[in-house]
Amino acid sequence: MLGLGIESTAHTFSCAVIEKKGNKGKILSDVKKIYRPANGEGIHPREASRHHIENSASVLSECLREAKTTIKEMDLVSYAAGPGLGPCLRVGAVVARSLASFYKIPIYPVNHAIGHIELGKLLTGARNPLVLLVSGGHTMLLAFLNKQWRVFGETLDITLGQLLDQFGRSIGFASPCGKDIEELASTSSNYVTLPYSVKGNDVSFSGLLSATKSAAKKSKVDACYSLQETAFAMISEAVERALSFTCKRELMIVGGVAANKRLSEMLQDVCKRHKCKFFVVPLRYAGDCGSQICWTGLLESQVKNGVLLKDTFVTQSWRLDSVKVNY
Ligand code: AMP
Ligand code: MG
């Protein structure tokens, strides 16, 4: 079975083709173009959606060419219906609806966060993990029970990705800034004290953001290092408690921030203490990409034949713990 997946929730417009045989999936192509705001600025939803409109045709053509296939060969098309930025989501939905109606292909709206998790499971082989989803849009600890992902902890304010991006922009980096911060942080080992805020199993990052901006006035390098150490230690504490509570034997990290080596290092220590297997989504598929949406659409096709065009939708806030997973 061949699927086409379209991702356009925020800064990334991406298309991917995956071939599914039984419960195995082979990514035949995954092409993306990322909208990059000017240094120091955040995502402007209208500008990002314009970027997606301008690049959608070329990304789609390149994706099909790389997979050595055509639209007519597709058994389904899936698109990220939320959560995300309204103007951006609409671009992916319009492309998917146009293809579905013209070529008479079944269409599937997919929850973006579930896309991160399902692709993570496919690529790592994790079976029943505690999931840490850390990205631009999410900071959540999740476990699956009775056909639904359940939240064991989350951010009370900004996400881990927003923390890194907002701090990075304040010191002049271009968004997304996580990689630049990681590089700068690796050149320091001088910890400056920053606020550490774990409440129950939830985390709060806004005080940490303000304090790190102040610390950066003395030393950007030390601020980057201390920011990572503090934020990742908070996450590790929440993960450790959730592992004890859920007795999971696997931990999987997904989302753009999963690309960070220091975060993996700290979580690996946690896993060693809990005799738990550690999985991290491969770097190339950590950030938003069409494969996440494509694979989830293919999984959904096991239990339903798509939705009617009139029932396709986009929704800016669509929590993953409200989605019934029936496959
Ligand atoms: P996503 O929303 O899943 O595409 O993830 C994007 C987020 O991942 C942004 O906030 C980036 O700053 C962050 N990110 C990407 N690479 C890294 C890295 N090496 N370290 C930390 N954060 C990263
Ligand atoms: Mg994402």
pLDDT tens-place string over residues 221-267:
999 999 999 999 999 999 999 999 999 999 999 999 999 999 999 99
How many residues appear in the chain? 327
Q: Relative to the CA of 182, which ligand 1 atom is closest? A: 20
Q: What is each CA distance from 36 to 31, 39, 133, in whole angstroms? A: 16, 9, 23
pLDDT confidence of 65, banded at 50, 70, 90?
A: very high
Q: What is the pLDDT of residue 159?
A: 98
- CATH for the 2-116+287-322 domain, from 3.40.50.450, 3.30.420.40, 3.40.190.10, 3.40.50.800: 3.30.420.40
Q: What is the pLDDT of residue 66?
A: 98
Which of 161, 167, 172 lies closest to 213 in space, CA to CA?
Answer: 167
Asked if residue 38 has pLDDT above 90, the reply is no
Query: Where are the domain boundaries for CATH 3.30.420.40 in the chain?
Result: 2-116+287-322, 127-285
Range name among 38-47, 63-72, 91-100 with the lowest pLDDT average: 38-47
The residue whose C-alpha atom lies closest to atom 5 belonging to ligand 1 is 256
Number of other residues whose CB lies within 10 A of the CB of residue 194: 20
* 168 Cβ contact list (under 8 Å, min separation 6): 175, 176, 177, 178, 180, 181
Alpha-carbon span 66 to 19, nearest angstrom: 13
**Cis peptide leading into 129, omega within 30 of 0?**
no
* 269 Cβ contact list (under 8 Å, min separation 6): 236
Residue list, ligand 1 pocket, CB within 6 Å:
135-137, 161, 164-165, 176-179, 182, 255-257, 259-260, 287-288
Average pLDDT, the chain: 97
Which of 280, 296, 295, 281 lies closest to 26 in space, CA to CA?
Answer: 295
* Closest ligand to residue 11's CA: 1
The predicted-structure confidence for 131-172, as pLDDT tens digits, reads as follows: 999 999 999 999 999 999 999 999 999 999 999 999 999 999
Residues around ion ligand 2, judged by CB within 5 A, are: 135, 288
The predicted-structure confidence for 75-87, as pLDDT tens digits, reads as follows: 999 999 999 999 9
Q: What is the pLDDT of residue 39?
A: 84
pLDDT confidence of 42, banded at 50, 70, 90?
A: confident
Rounded distance from Cα 137 to ligand 2 centre (Å): 6
Record the pTM.
0.96
Alpha-carbon span 224 to 186, nearest angstrom: 9
Q: For the chain, what is the largest distance between any 2 Cα atoms, rounded to a whole number of angstroms? A: 60
Question: Going by CATH, does the domain composed of 127-285 fall within 3.30.420.40?
Answer: yes
pLDDT confidence of 40, banded at 50, 70, 90?
A: confident
Alpha-carbon span 207 to 196, nearest angstrom: 9
Q: What is the pLDDT of residue 69?
A: 98
Order of all β-strands in the sheet with 24-34: 24-34, 12-21, 2-7, 76-82, 107-111
